[in-house]
Chain A
């Protein structure tokens, strides 16, 4: 029995800002004051508010300490744990309410959230199967094995309305049903933990914070479709997730919750990890399976669909990490409970990874149908600079940019598609007035050009041509006709690519052209980048009225592009200028501007 628990976030973000050291130091300091037997230190998964990391929460008070360094640990132990005085200076200020501390659920970041997939992240020790069981873990598997037929499970999954969280939103129950309907024999259950979207980190956080939930769900899926082997395809760049998954698999085997004759029901199921090398295309289902088979990760045409002919040519289901994380709760709490959240066609919740120009960078889980505005402004806190948010990109490289005037759109599968974007895996990158939308489109195309596997020509060549036109535009060398060519090319790549990588790659271009055509035109016709991002279209100039002739800019210019004598007006030779911006940064009189 411990009278107090100290939870230290061990997610990737906090980990890289020394949370492991904090845990160590915490134990040392507790030992120094003789509290080791009274206070438990737990390394958990992600709490979600990554912007404030490293985070430490002390229960029973629920004191939420933010930006903790190993140097702060002694104060927390001596003051809070020993003497009972909460260290106010280290508290997340929003939880401070006079002399009291507010519960996290009352803060703007958490109060609109509903944590189902993330329910155990930041609560349990992910390396303890006992703590997972303490949250009713593996009871869903037990229920399925002892009380339900595979058809019962499919029935619940269908009724729940759960749709795949990996991108396409395909109904999970339907997918399982297809695989179940195949003749008995070798079948497989796979988990997609490739998470290649730049800016998405929800799957990683679930694996790091609650790995057993995924294992349990895969076993349930195995029982349902008649498979006895599962594979988790996880990228090797997620070392903490890989480590905790392996620990979880070992623990589950030791307890007999994976392996032969689980819970004495005659059901056998085991899971192995397969590490991916980090190619985006390997997240595509057929490429993923090809990669598990030991071949080069390239997609193949569908049909046949994996449910019929998947891994090693056998019926296979593949689901996303977050999809699986919902399954045990649906089994335990029922389809109606799940349906009570979200919208009619998009039930339940969705996890979003907030990034870009946003104050509360981190992970949030909200009921489907919450508006973009609530997520970005209320939960995310808007742009940190106080600047105006201009757009948000959902769906990563396959998604689109949504302009701020459409932020009242509810986030669900249909609504996002209707405005030219998509749910994708849930990355949400926020852009403010300083972002150039052409440049953003170019960024995503740069990504897809590099990640295209090269198997089909529309994607391999088409994405590169799109990228080249975008480059021309950002360098002021494009003509108005190029915009038409660009659009046509985008449609062509969309319609003719082999897999969804190419089919969706033009989306960032098409959506920015749809909503921010004025920015494209400014680049092409006026040879101007309205936000001043595109270097080639910029000029640094000195405003004569403001220049005092202090020579500071001249002395700092690395290419001697500035001319002028002491106390005389200076000028910039634009033919020599490399647009590094040092002069503007150094000028103390605001006399240098870019235009």
Chain B
């Protein structure tokens, strides 16, 4: 039973993210892509995807699409995460949910690439 506007708004706030999730993405949205090939899934890509997806919903981070993509084809680098922002794609390797959340916060939200986790950094070693 809803007896006042406040409780109506409470339901609204709870379900707004659900329906907003189904809005058409704007072309300039940042894409966070988790590579979900068989080896990626085996290495824990699913957990990373879920961690990112719930963070984006919980913190109501807008204009970001957390989604999955096919296998990365980089041996020994799984799980792999790609961030596509402003026309540039950065590839991150050997991800964990913690690292992924840091990237979400620093790269996606604040705009600073987390260079220590990138593929380039791994190759340089």
Contact = CB atoms under 8 A, between A and B. Distances in A.
Interface of A: 1-5, 7, 38, 57, 59-62, 82-85, 103-106, 123-124, 130-131, 133-139, 142, 146, 254-257, 263-264
Interface in B17-75: 17-27, 33-38, 41, 49-50, 53-54, 57-58, 65-71
Contacts of A137: 12
B13 to A, nearest CB: 9
A-B pairs with lowest CB-CB distance, top 3: A134-B15, A84-B68, A3-B53
Contacts of A123: 19, 22-23
A139 B25 contact: no
A180 B16 CA distance: 35
B37 A83 contact: yes
B124 interface: no
A483 B11 CA distance: 64
A1 B54 contact: yes
A83 B18 contact: no
B46 to A, nearest CB: 8
A136 B4 contact: no
A84 B69 CA distance: 4
B15 A131 contact: yes
A394 B3 CA distance: 45
B50 A133 contact: no
Contacts of A124: 19
- Which of A130, A134, A254 has the most chain B CB within a 10 Å cutoff? A134
A123 B41 CA distance: 30
B22 A134 contact: no
B2 A256 contact: yes
A142 B65 CA distance: 33
B8 interface: yes
Interface of B: 1-5, 8-9, 11-12, 14-27, 33-38, 41, 49-50, 53-54, 57-58, 65-71
B100 to A, nearest CB: 13
Contacts of B71: 83
Given A83-B36, A83-B70, A136 B12 contact: yes
Nearest to B27: A103
Contacts of A138: 8
B22 A130 contact: no
B78 to A, nearest CB: 13
A170 to B, nearest CB: 32
A135 B19 CA distance: 7
Given A134-B14, A138-B8, A263-B4, A5 B22 contact: yes
Contacts of A1: 53-54, 57-58
A103 B5 contact: no
A62 B15 CA distance: 19
A142 B24 contact: no
Contacts of B54: 1, 3
B18 A257 contact: no
Contacts of B20: 134
Contact of A130 (B15, B27, B36, B50): B15
A131 B27 contact: no
Contacts of B5: 139, 142, 146, 263
A3 B12 contact: no
A60 B66 contact: yes
A136 B12 CA distance: 6
A133 B35 contact: no
A136 B16 CA distance: 8
B69 to A, nearest CB: 5
Contacts of A254: 1
Contacts of B14: 130, 134
Given A7-B22, A130-B11, A61 B67 contact: yes
Given A3-B49, A134-B12, A84 B70 contact: yes
A513 B44 CA distance: 72
A133 B8 contact: yes
A156 B105 CA distance: 44
B10 to A, nearest CB: 9
B59 to A, nearest CB: 12
29 contacts: A1-B53, A1-B57, A2-B53, A3-B49, A3-B50, A3-B54, A7-B22, A38-B50, A60-B67, A84-B33, A84-B35, A84-B67, A85-B70, A103-B24, A103-B27, A104-B24, A130-B14, A131-B19, A133-B12, A134-B12, A134-B15, A134-B18, A139-B12, A146-B5, A256-B2, A263-B4, A263-B5, A263-B8, A264-B3
B34 A134 contact: no
B18 to A, nearest CB: 6
B12 A255 contact: no
Contacts of A60: 21, 25, 65-67
Nearest to B49: A3
Contacts of B50: 3, 38
Contacts of B34: 84
Nearest to B54: A1
Nearest to B52: A3
- Which of B20, B21, B36 has the most chain A CB within a 10 Å cutoff? B21
A105 B15 contact: no
B65 to A, nearest CB: 4
Given A4-B67, A84-B69, 18 more contacts: A1-B54, A3-B54, A3-B66, A5-B21, A7-B22, A38-B50, A57-B22, A60-B65, A83-B37, A84-B34, A106-B27, A130-B15, A131-B19, A134-B16, A135-B16, A139-B8, A139-B9, A264-B3
A377 B34 CA distance: 40
Nearest to B16: A134
Nearest to A34: B46
Nearest to A129: B11
